């Protein structure tokens, strides 16, 4: 059983402006002093998937930086999507490339913009997931145990247990649930058998192709064309733009015959905003920061300096987000962290 | 009648941190895009006092930058005080140097840290003040018509009119009043014959020396030593540190036999804090700034970028002072503008 991974690294992201830009979204930022999220995602596959079996999907704005950061991945394994077409076409593209390499392989699909620190647990669980995917001919999802009734995630309802080993709880999926309202999410949590859908999938090429044939003929045909093409890049450039933009959950997972869920035993953070980043910064006198600060009557502020070399003094201010880069400074009310995109929409092009 | 000027440029200033530093206080900053306050003070004397008759007092921390900015003033006319000794010894030092040049000269004493934009009115009034000082053998002060009951200025009570010409009201001084409380200041304003003491003085050398002989023998003796010394810099270095630190108001003006006051016809601002600076910045969408900003739900903020090349985005924040330099950023509540020195006290030495 050959193992492959498809890393999705084409997401845009304006929530981390001014650190993030069109050409440098969240996954390409080093916010935690341990490499960028993309670099961490690649290194997390050490011992799980050989480098030459890792494929990375990105887009033209970010391609140069992705290639720089993923310098140890074969150049032909990094593909720039001709246009954005949501996750189902993107993942189908990866399936096609991997099928060309090994029509019997098992593959992981993982996002590149999540922070996972417990590498060992990640590898243990993913190994188990790949074994399960190969053995059960099922599409396997990885679920995150929810810690609060978050309304902006998708949820997965878990059913009958398939097998259980220490640190590995595998259950059948009853249903995918799209982003609920907070009350519904709270009900999910109280029922105890719901997890967050973290967008990580594990399957064998035969299993996923069979399901695509059955439920997504357009994508199944695209996968075949890519897999059999003598010039896959060209086939992608020609056919990809015509695919219907739809999420993999909606196109495939919700309809698939057999979907399993494995509960993550590792930590997980999708680092949705500066508020999340603050959890990983040092605390200094009731404020969190990655640079030297001096404070007077100031608390609850998040201060981030791109190079960490700017001294920031805070006087009589509370709950601000302060982010400094070579050309810009953001000062935002912490309660408006999700509205940073409103600012970005107003910016001159060269600052986006 | 030869005309001289003594520019006092030794003041420290922490209220404009991080723009101001120990070696670069308010008077050496270019906050208004029209040169530093010191440079403006020098240029304001054009047509009033020849360059070779201008003397500048500074201190060792700021001397290099003062010399750079005052490149057109004779090098021997720029003196670095060996130690800080308040205004009376500093002014006596200048009187000694000017007396050596011309024992019958008339001199202006002017601070270097005030903003005056109406140059023509300044020159007209100062010319009249020098004529009056020469003719009346009096010590002449320049008063600023108060616009609000400010408790942090000294006040001058004006009495009988000496002469009046269009744009030139000269009265006898009844009394100097030290910094009053706000209620007292309000009473002064309602009485109508009080003005702010702006620390600008005009007198002839014979007149001021006669008054120093009578009321400040220590300073009178120091003036003589400097004036008669073959090596005045050396005399200053030896004798200046021993002088009693005291203000010119307290040492001389309050006791002098004949003090007159001329009311300023020019605009005047002592630029006491970033709040004052904001009056001279451009307004952008309810905020004031010297750089490009983008705002969303933000108002009343003051944004200052040292080089004016940093883009600042404000989201959901109000009444902040944001100041950016190459090595530091200050973010302060506007209501705490006067407490910036508290922050400066906590800073590492290299940032002061």
Task: List CB contacts (< 8 A) between B312 and chain A.
Answer: 328-331
Nearest residue of chain A to residue B296 (CA atoms): A343
pLDDT at residue A33, rounded to an integer: 80
Query: Which residues in chain B have Cβ-Cβ distances shorter than 8 Å to A274?
Result: none
For A18, nearest residue in chain B (alpha carbons): B313
Domains and CATH numbers, chain B: 3-263 (3.90.550.10), 274-351 (no CATH)
Q: What is the mean pLDDT of residues A248-275?
A: 95
* C-alpha to C-alpha distances, B247 to A29, B26, B90, B210, B263, nearest whole angstrom: 57, 20, 9, 18, 22
Beta bridge partners of B56: B7, B78
3-state DSSP percent of chain A in helix, strand and coil, to 5: 35, 30, 35
Task: Evaluate whether A156 touches A261 at the Cβ level (below 8 Å).
Answer: yes
- Number of other CB atoms surrounding residue A124 within 10 Å: 18
- Which chain A residues have a beta carbon less than 8 Å from that of B311? 18, 327-329, 347-348, 351
Which residues on A lie below 8 Å from B294 (Cβ)? 343, 346-347
CA distances in angstroms from A228 to A56, A104, A224, A232, listed in the order given: 20, 15, 6, 8
Cis bond upstream, residue B38 (ω within 30): no
Yes or no, beta carbons of B329 and A347 under 8 Å apart: no
Chain B residues whose CB is inside 8 A of the A291 CB are none
- Does the pLDDT at position A98 exceed 90? yes
Q: CA of A293 to nearest chain B CA: how many angstroms apart?
A: 9
Predicted local distance difference test score (pLDDT) of residue B333: 98
What local confidence, expressed as pLDDT, does residue A14 receive?
85
Q: Which of B160, B159, B155, B161 has its CA nearest to residue B188?
A: B155
CA-nearest residue to A316 within chain B is B333
State the smallest CA–CA distance between residue B65 and chain A in angstroms: 24
B331 to A312: CB separation less than 8 angstroms, yes or no: yes
Question: Are the Cβ atoms of A331 and B314 closer than 8 angstroms?
Answer: yes
Residues 6+ apart with CB under 8 A from B100: B226, B227, B228, B229, B232
DSSP letters of B215-266? H-HHHHHHHHHHHH-SSHHHHHHHHGGGSPP--HIIIIITT-S-EEEEE--S
Q: What is the pLDDT of residue A19?
A: 95
Contact indicator for A157, A193 with CB cutoff of 8 Å = yes
Contact yes or no for A332 and B342 at CB 8 A:
no
Closest CB to B329: pick one of A310, A327, A342: A310
Tell me what ipTM this predicted complex has.
0.89
Chain B environment of A328 (Cβ under 8 Å) = 310-313
Q: Which two tokens stand for residue B32?
A: 């208004």
Residue with tokens 């391609």, as numbered in its chain = A63
Question: Testing the interface with A: which of B18, B294, B298, B339 to mutate, by most A Cβ within 10 A?
Answer: B294
Cα separation of B281 and B278, whole Å? 5
pLDDT given for residue A297 in this prediction: 97
- Mean pLDDT calculated for residue range A75-98: 96
Give chain B's contact residues with A (Cβ, < 8 Å).
17-18, 292, 294, 296-297, 309-317, 320, 322, 324, 327-333, 335-336, 339-340, 342-343, 346-348, 351
Q: How confident is the model at residue A61 (pLDDT cuts 50, 70, 90)?
A: very high
Structure tokens belonging to residue A350: 């060269």
Minimum Cα–Cα distance from B338: chain A residue? A315
Main-chain dihedrals φ then ψ at residue A343, nearest 5 degrees: -65, -45
CB contact at 8 A, B151 and B185: yes
- Kindly determine whether residue A311 and residue B328, on different chains, have CB atoms separated by under 8 Å: yes
CB B41 within 8 A of CB B28: no
pLDDT at A32: 87
- Low-confidence winner among A54-58, A168-172, A252-256, B194-198 (lowest mean pLDDT): A168-172
Per-10-residue mean pLDDT for chain B, 352 residues long?
Answer: 95 89 93 92 97 97 96 97 94 98 98 95 95 94 95 95 80 94 95 96 98 98 98 96 96 96 95 92 95 97 95 98 97 94 93 92
Q: Which pLDDT score is estimated for B56?
A: 98
What is the rounded CA–CA span in Å between residue A238 and residue A252? 23
pLDDT of residue B14: 85
The DSSP symbol for A51 reads G
What are B270-292's pLDDT values in tens digits?
A: 998 999 999 999 999 999 999 99
Our measurement of the distance from residue B338's CA atom to the centroid of its chain's CA atoms, rounded to an integer in Å, reads 18
Alpha helices in chain B (DSSP H): 37-43, 63-69, 87-101, 119-136, 182-191, 205-215, 217-228, 232-239, 248, 274-278, 340-346
Q: Could you tell me which chain B residue has the CA closest to the CA of A298?
A: B332
User: Long-range contacts made by residues A36-41, C-beta under 8 angstroms, separation at least 24?
Assistant: A36/A69, A37/A112, A37/A113, A37/A114, A37/A115, A37/A271, A38/A7, A38/A9, A38/A66, A38/A69, A38/A70, A38/A112, A38/A113, A39/A69, A39/A70, A40/A115, A40/A116, A41/A7, A41/A9, A41/A110, A41/A111, A41/A112, A41/A114
Cα distance from N-terminal residue to C-terminal residue, chain A: 44
Whether A329 and B329 lie within 8 Å, measured CB to CB: yes
A12 has pLDDT over 90:
no
User: Which positions in chain B touch A312 (Cβ < 8 Å)?
Assistant: 328-331
Residue of chain A nearest B333, judged by CA positions: A316
A309-347: buried (b, 16+ CB within 10 Å) or exposed (e) per residue? ebbbbbbbbeebbbbbbeebbbbbbbebbebbebbbeeb
d(CA A285, CA A296): 9
Per-residue pLDDT for A266 more than 90? Answer: yes
CB contact under 8 A, B333 and A324: no
pLDDT for residue A230 is more than 90 = yes
Give A25→chain B minimum CA distance, Å: 18
Q: Which chain A residues have a beta carbon less than 8 Å from that of B316?
A: 332-333, 335-336, 339
Give the three-state DSSP class for A52: helix
Residue A235 and residue A92: Cα distance in Å, rounded?
13
Collapsing DSSP to helix, strand or coil, B97 comes out as: helix
- pLDDT given for residue B32 in this prediction: 86
What number of other Cβ atoms are within 10 A of residue B280's Cβ?
16
């Amino acid at each position: 059983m050959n193992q492959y991974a498809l890393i999705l690294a084409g997401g845009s992201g304006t929530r981390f402006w001014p650190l993030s830009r069109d050409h440098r979204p969240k996954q390409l930022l080093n916010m935690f002093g341990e490499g960028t999220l993309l670099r961490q995602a690649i290194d997390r596959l050490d011992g799980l998937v050989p480098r030459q079996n890792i494929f990375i999907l990105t887009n033209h704005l970010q391609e140069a930086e992705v290639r720089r950061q993923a310098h140890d991945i074969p150049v032909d394994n990094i593909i720039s999507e001709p246009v954005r077409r949501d996750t189902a076409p993107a993942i189908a593209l990866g399936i096609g490339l991997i099928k060309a390499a090994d029509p019997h392989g098992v593959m992981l699909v993982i996002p590149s913009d999540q922070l996972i620190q417990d590498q060992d647990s990640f590898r243990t669980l993913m190994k188990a997931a790949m074994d399960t995917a190969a053995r059960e001919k099922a599409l396997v999802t990885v679920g995150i145990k929810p810690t609060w009734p978050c309304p902006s995630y998708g949820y997965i309802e878990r059913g009958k247990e398939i097998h259980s080993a220490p640190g590995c709880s595998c259950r059948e999926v009853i249903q995918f649930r799209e982003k609920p309202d907070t009350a519904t999410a709270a009900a999910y949590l109280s029922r105890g058998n719901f997890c967050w859908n973290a967008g990580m999938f594990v399957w064998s090429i035969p299993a996923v192709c069979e399901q695509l044939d059955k439920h997504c003929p357009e994508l199944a045909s695209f996968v075949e064309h890519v897999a059999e093409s003598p010039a896959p890049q060209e086939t992608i450039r020609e056919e990809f733009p015509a695919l219907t933009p739809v999420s993999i959950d909606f196109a495939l997972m919700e309809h698939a015959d057999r979907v399993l869920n494995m509960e993550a035993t590792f930590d997980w953070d999708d680092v949705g905003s500066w508020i999340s980043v603050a959890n990983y910064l040092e605390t200094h006198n009731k404020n969190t920061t990655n640079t030297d600060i001096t404070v007077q009557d100031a608390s609850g502020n998040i201060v981030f300096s791109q190079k960490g070399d700017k001294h920031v003094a805070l006087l009589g201010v509370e709950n601000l987000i302060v982010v400094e880069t070579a050309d810009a400074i953001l000062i935002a009310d912490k309660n408006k962290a999700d509205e940073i995109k409103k600012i970005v929409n107003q910016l001159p092009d060269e600052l986006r």
